[in-house]
Amino acid sequence: MHQHSSVFFFVFAVAAGLILVGAQARVVDAQADSQVQALYDLYQSTGGPNWINNTGWASQNDDPCGRKAGNRPWYGVTCAGGYVIKLKLDRNGLGGVLPASISNVPYIEGLHFRGNMLIGGIPRSLGDIQSLRTLDLAYNHLGGGIPPLGTNSTSLAYLYLGNNQLGGTIPASFQYLTGLAELDLASNRLTGPVPDWLASLSLTSLWVAYNSLSGQFPLKVCQSLILCSAAFNSRLMCPSMSCTCGAMQSCNCNNMCQTSNDCTGLCTRCVGASPIMNGYCQ
């Protein structure tokens, strides 16, 4: 009897294992199909046939990573373990809108679309990508408000949205991006204050120049930075000279304090700054 029980449990364990392996395989297949469809959507939505380089994309061969014999990775695609982890399509003639399905690339770490002709808004779905570390949408024609990217994409470390037509305020959801090191929001249409909670992030570089920000630039934010660009915000008041001392290596407070900017703060040369980086106020 004991022998029969052992055989039964062995057969049961093998069957359960096969079911589990089959389920895992189906998940992997679903993720692979999802990422390929997301790339197809990107190609179609952004005028793929007119890209400067669309090698591989035009064939739509279901193999963006070039794993099959005779195939090469699609242009701008970097993979690991059969999954796309980076899309680098800077200055490649992309136009149109970014599809919401771009978030269906399950393990993407970097989206680089700088210097294209993208229009419309930034998809809210980008905030759902938990693996995303770099998002570069600078130098496009994106408009509307900035979506709450900090909701789930807490891994984000480098966010570049400068030189677009984005409006509204700096999103409160950014305060959850505790690992954010570089934030570029320059040359947009942002209004409101520079929030003091930016100091609680891991920011070393902040670009907010050429917007319509107002209020006092928080001293504790400035003190936490190595590079700060906040020039030409018509109602943004310059912080005091202590802002630029310490870790600060580059500060264009001198532009911020031009008389045309209604700056009421005190700007004085910072002795502790690096002369190579022109890190001083005058």
pLDDT at 246: 47
The full 3-state SS of the chain, as one line of letters, equals: CHHHHHHHHHHHHHHHHHHHHHHHHHHHHHHHHHHHHHHHHHHHHCCHHHCCCCCCCCCCCCCCCCCCCCCCCCCCEEEECCEEEEEECCCCCCEECCCHHHHHCCCCCEEECCCCEECCCCCHHHHHCCCCCEEECCCCCCEEECCCCCCCCCCCCEEECCCCEEEECCCHHHHHCCCCCEEECCCCEEEECCCHHHHHCCCCEEECCCCEEEEECCHHHHHCCCEEECCCCCEEECCCHHHHCCCCCEECHHHHCCHHHCCCCCCCCCCCCCHHHCCCCC
* Residue 272: pLDDT band with limits 50, 70, 90: very low
pLDDT at 31: 62
> Over 60: is that where the pLDDT of 46 sits?
yes
> Over 80: is that where the pLDDT of 107 sits?
yes
> Over 60: is that where the pLDDT of 47 sits?
yes
Instruction: Please tell me which residue, 143 or 273, carries the higher pLDDT value.
Output: 143
Q: Where are the domains of the chain?
A: 19-237
Say what the pTM is. Answer: 0.80
Instruction: Please tell me which residue, 245 or 53, carries the higher pLDDT value.
Output: 53
Of 7-16, 175-184, 257-266, the poorest mean pLDDT is in 257-266
pLDDT at 79: 96
pLDDT > 90 fraction of the chain, expressed in percent and rounded: 58
* Assigned superfamily of 19-237: Ribonuclease Inhibitor (3.80.10.10)
> Over 70: is that where the pLDDT of 276 sits?
no
> Over 70: is that where the pLDDT of 65 sits?
yes
Residue-averaged pLDDT of the chain: 80
